[in-house]
Amino acid sequence: MAEQVLSIKGPVTMATAGKIYRDIAILSAKAPLYIDFSGIEQVDSSAIALLISILRRARNAPDRIKLGAIPDAIAQFSEIYGLDESFRQNMELAS
């Protein structure tokens, strides 16, 4: 089955995180999913909660979800929250 790509653009905040997660849940249930975070413009703590939820989903189906182009700000948050090892397994940092 071909990998799908979900490009996240704009803010990842309390106002948008729920819809983003629902989109991820629907798409990843159908086929492997690559999530491209390169279009993120703003984050708040909801972005970390979203990523934790994505990591839980990815842990249950390791070949179904890959994270890509994670902005440095989110990667730094992942270190602060002790999630950096989990992220490394499923992500590529933005260049």
Q: What is the CATH number of the domain that holds 39?
A: 3.30.750.24
SS3 assignment, position 77: helix
Share of the chain above pLDDT 90, in %: 34
What sections of 1-95 are H helices per DSSP? 17-30, 45-60, 72-80, 84-90
**Cα 42 from chain centre:** 14
Total structural domains within the chain:
1
pLDDT, averaged across the chain: 82
**Domain extent at residue 87:** 4-93
What is the SS3 assignment for 28?
helix
Residue type, 67: L
| Full-model pTM | 0.78
What is the model's pLDDT at position 62? 67
